[in-house]
Amino acid sequence: MYQPLKLKPALKDYIWGGDRLIKDWNKSSEKNAVAESWEMSCHNGGPSVIDGGEYDGKLLKDVINADMLGENAKKFEFFPILVKLIDAKDNLSIQVHPDDEYALKNEGEYGKTEMWYVVEANEGAGVYCGFNKEYTKDEVKKALEDGVITDILNFIEVKSGDTLFINSGTVHAICGGLLIAEIQQNSSLTYRLFDYNRVDKDGNKRELHIAKSIDVIDSSRVVSANETVNVIDGVTRELAKCKYFTAYVHSVNSTYDINVTEESFVGITAIGGVGNIEYNGVSYPIEKGDTYFLPAGMGKVTLKGAIEAISYRV
């Protein structure tokens, strides 16, 4: 019989990261900063490890099978999603991700569509997402050459609880002062257009990918916050739905049932509070910063306590 699997994340210490995930989110690291916590990952660049139970210490990707993933995942060649917590102390690079067609043809891997749920936001913090009006690709290239690319981008000030959906081809960047939950395709394929002329700890600038970025950008794309949020009931809001994933946020004050069908596994990441996952008479503690994988076909799973959590499925 399947049971909830608690996950231990892979942690990344990129140059723009802060220390909130260490101080406030129970992420244990020898580093002074954690930029990203890969909460649910079967990506070779940072796979999740099962924490506790009969599979303790094993990689999630080595334990799961087709039945545990569910019917919807069968259309994908590999584990379909990657879920991160991102602590941006400073701005991330201005970047873009290709779609599947371009990525498969030119890189031999899949592209990347993603969504952001803003968990914490400093006053005035925001994101670059799309352009402030429609531009030609030549105009975008000229702005890059002149070092004024941020002048033509669409800056969106955000607050806790905001959602943004980032289609492949959309130029974007998370800016400093934000902690974001990201649900994305299982891909790390990123083209950087601009990185503020920063250098890493060894004094080297990070690689840019101007030609490929210009190839794949949608220079007419303008994004607004909360464009994909739908209210389901008094507890749950649907944050995004696409062919790669569906994501929800749950604000639970007592109990709430989640139905884990044969169609898809469900992932749960707690972003606030304390509670339990109740299944088949057993309680599994969950608090802010914890992530669980729920295999497909488990049926009714109950969240209990005062807890806010994001769930996602394919």
Catalytic residues: 192
Handedness of CA 19, 21, 25, 26 (dihedral sign): negative
CA trace torsion 205, 179, 165, 6 (10° rounding): 110
Tell me how far apart the alpha carbons of residues 163 and 250 are, in angstroms, rounded to a whole number.
14
Tell me how far apart the alpha carbons of residues 140 and 122 are, in angstroms, rounded to a whole number.
29
Q: Which is nearest to 282 in space by CA: 5, 1, 3, 68? A: 3
Tell me how far apart the alpha carbons of residues 169 and 189 are, in angstroms, rounded to a whole number.
12
- Asked if 255 contacts 267 with a C-beta cutoff of 8 angstroms, the reply is no
Place of tokens 């809001």: 237
Tell me how far apart the alpha carbons of residues 295 and 260 are, in angstroms, rounded to a whole number.
8
